[in-house]
Amino acid sequence: MSQLPDSQRVVVTGLGVIHGLGQTADTFWASLVAGKNGIDRVTQFDPAPFATQVGAEVKGWNVEDFMDPKEARRNDRYTHFGFCAAKQAWADSGLSMDKEDPDRVGVVVGSGIGGMLTYETQCRKLHEQGPRKVSPFTIPALIGNICSGIIAIELGARGPNFGVVSACATGTHAIGESMHMIRRGDADVMIAGGTEAAITPFAYSTFCAMRAMSTRNDDPATACRPFSMGRDGFVMGEGAGVLVLESLEHAKKRGARIYCEVASYAAEGKGLGAAMTRALRSAGVTPEQVDYINAHGTSTPYNDKFETLAIKRVFGEHASKLAISSTKSMTGHLLGGAGGIESVISAKTIHTRTVAPTINLHEPDPECDLDYVPNVARSAAVSTVVSNNLGFGGQNAVAVFRAV
């Protein structure tokens, strides 16, 4: 157990998700546990000219059901996702700004890429119609910090407020830095997570040029196959995952429902192994006390192999006893939103005592020989979870969650 006082222990009291598998945390989680796949042929643009034609899109969702239509038109899709997930998480927490000091409530919701759709749309207008047709809302819509600002304005939060940009580690960095703010006494409550909407022609062009994404276009449901033979790249996902964090002292005083504790977080440039080691040490957790790892598990040949090696190096003999899964097999890779949505998954894992599977794992890679919870969810008494996220630039982020 933590030796920190309750005023410095940070707990999760609210969860929000926007994703193609579910537009609330509960419906999303139910889909994951059922092993449903959110990946299909892309519909937001004609993918035929692209080497990769599949993605995990948010469909059947209208932002104007949650956001003022005029405000919605001024903001990018990535902000729409983060805004709606944050409002869900706030409602789920049971908090009311009428009962809080607004100066003690902050927001850090990051995006790895920001307003890509806005960027593409306005560049097209510039080239086709001239500079006078470019929207005056272009810059506010595309910058990566604006989602946090819009959430704060909506909820009336006046505490710490900024965006995080660290590629695919963004969401975990946002949650970890928010944890530190509460521990330092800068805030009582933080709304934290990640959001991304990069299923666009330009983004697909760039990742296809890198040969980073799967080209299994004839069978979208099996395109993302972490730790499997024949995996050939990641699959893009979109959406948001947002958490409400608060000090344990604050949560206890108001009788809040607590999902779990954010025990620690590490940001490390040396490598994933170093990040996991630092996160465990900071939490006061031994490797043998960890029950489950939500792996970065991108379904790229190198990531899955080297993440497996890093887990073996850090956990030693215990590595073979761990439950490990890549939920990206169902969600796709949300880039800057990955850490947010996977932190929601980590909290749900502890709260429901259920581990979501790695689907499409029918022919394991011999170099990936750990227990990846293949294809079917598993009931388990999970008390401590590690969530891994890695970003371009060598930015490794690891969060440790545990039962309270």
Say if residue 322's pLDDT is above 90.
yes
185 burial (CB, 10 Å; 0-12 / 13-18 / 19+) is exposed
Annotated active-site residue in 80, 250, 333, 351: 333
Q: Say if CB 325 and CB 315 are below 8 A apart.
A: no
Q: Which positions ≥6 away from 50 have C-beta within 8 Å?
A: 201, 204, 205, 208
The per-residue pLDDT for 224 is 98
Average confidence score pLDDT of the chain: 97
Calculate mean pLDDT across residues 277-301: 98
Nearest one of 155, 1, 32 to 83, comparing CA atoms: 155
Tell me, yes or no, if the pTM score tops 0.85: yes
The DSSP secondary structure of 232-292, one letter per residue, reads --B-BB-EEEEEEEEEHHHHHHTT----EEEEEEEEESS-HHHHHHHHHHHHT--GGG--E
Annotated active-site residue in 80, 250, 296, 351: 296
The per-residue pLDDT for 233 is 98
> The tokens of 403 are what?
């039962």
The per-residue pLDDT for 2 is 64
296 is catalytic: yes
Instruction: Name residue, tokens 């940009």.
Output: 165
Nearest one of 322, 241, 338 to 285, comparing CA atoms: 322
Nearest one of 310, 77, 53, 352 to 198, comparing CA atoms: 77
Instruction: Name residue, tokens 């949505």.
Output: 341
Residues 2-37: b if buried by 16+ CB within 10 A, e if exposed: beeeeebbbbbbbbbbbbbbbbbbeebbebbbebeb
Coil, helix or strand for 176?
helix
What sign for the dihedral angle of Cα 340, 342, 344, 347?
negative
168 is catalytic: yes
362 is catalytic: no
Amino acid identity of residue 123, one-letter, is C
The per-residue pLDDT for 377 is 98
The per-residue pLDDT for 3 is 84
Q: Say if CB 212 and CB 312 are below 8 A apart.
A: no
Calculate mean pLDDT across residues 113-141: 97
Annotated active-site residue in 168, 224, 260, 368: 168
Taking the C-alpha atoms of residue 370 and residue 319, their distance in angstroms, rounded to an integer, is 7
Query: Which strand (E) or helix (H) includes residue 386?
Result: strand 384-391
Taking the C-alpha atoms of residue 218 and residue 297, their distance in angstroms, rounded to an integer, is 22
CATH number for domain 10-393, candidates 3.30.565.10, 3.30.70.100, 3.40.47.10, 3.40.190.10:
3.40.47.10
The per-residue pLDDT for 241 is 98
Percent of the chain whose pLDDT exceeds 90: 98
Q: What confidence tens digit (pLDDT) does each residue in 208-267 have?
A: 999 999 999 999 999 999 999 999 999 999 999 999 999 999 999 999 999 999 999 999
Calculate mean pLDDT across residues 265-294: 97
Say if residue 1's pLDDT is above 90.
no
Beta bridge partners of 236: 333
Q: How confident is the model at residue 362 (pLDDT cuts 50, 70, 90)?
A: very high
